[in-house]
Amino acid sequence: MRITLKVWRQKNADTPGRMVEYPLDGISEDMSFLEMLDVLNEQLIEQGEEPVAFDHDCREGICGMCGVMLDGVAHGPEVTTTCQLHMRSFKDGDTITVEPWRADPFPVIKDLVVDRSAFDRIIQAGGFISANTGSAPDAHATVVPKSDADAAFEAAACIACGACVAACPNGSSMLFTAAKVTHLGKLPQGQPERDGRVVSMVAQQDAEGFGGCTNIGECAAVCPKGIPLDTINQLNFDLRTAIRNGA
């Protein structure tokens, strides 16, 4: 395959960025998108140029590190992570625009790498269980309704990649926060801190500068783990309940 990449290049957070065009030839349709970027960087290094910086780690669709905007779509044309996107999703001769996540709480560090530590601070605000639940019980000792177990498992699949924020016209992180709140709030172990958790995490989300949710649905449409939009309904329900309870 022959493709042309238009890649966002930015030296650091304080330097203006620009799009730079790179032609590539001999790309296999079986390469992942990140493998294709590796080929680009090998060529740039051979030419004495600075390679393109991009985030990656497991390359198995698990860690959430690899997110970029491809032709204006978070993670690209398939509903998957960028590392699991393959070049067969594009056509020979295509021009692909590659940009970092665009959101004020995700400042660019370099090229395609953004700082997503705002997500870490939301988790630190309450996305955990600190109540002593004793030693590990037998797996069947605590009865959890299947509907609650399924909802918790579905929400726990969130990998915090940030695609929901990048896709949202408002730059909202509600799907991410809702997934973390719902995951713990649906389980018996999460009940002692349920009210305080949702209040603290939503407050931190707002403090980080994420936009408000207006139920557009772009977040769920691009989520590589299929977190449903109604997870946000659960967060709103929990938040209203917590406020009524005086949390």
Alpha-carbon distance 215 to 168, whole Å?
9
Buried b (16+ CB within 10 A) or exposed e, 55-84: bbeebebebbbbbbbbeebbbbebbbbbbb
pTM strictly above 0.85: yes
- CATH class for the region spanning 116-244: mainly alpha
Would the pLDDT of 124 be above 90? yes
CATH 1.10.1060.10 positions along the chain are 116-244
Residue 133 has a pLDDT of 67
CATH of 3-110, one of 3.10.20.30, 3.30.390.30, 3.40.50.300, 3.40.50.620: 3.10.20.30
CA distances to 107, 134, 152, 153, 187 from 139, in Å: 43, 14, 16, 15, 13
Residue 141 has a pLDDT of 82
pLDDT confidence band for 91 (50 / 70 / 90): very high
105-118 pLDDT tens trace: 999 999 999 999 99
Please name the helix (run of DSSP H) or strand (run of DSSP E) that holds residue 224, with its range, or none. Answer: none
169 token code pair = 């016209």
Q: Work out whether strand 95-99 and strand 3-9 pair parallel, antiparallel, or are unpaired.
A: parallel
Distance of CA 14 to the CA centre of its chain: 24
Alpha-carbon distance 81 to 61, whole Å?
6
17-75 pLDDT tens trace: 999 999 999 999 999 999 999 999 999 999 999 999 999 999 999 999 999 999 999 99
- Burial classification of residue 140, based on how many CB atoms lie within 10 Å of its CB (0-12 exposed, 13-18 middle, 19 or more buried): exposed
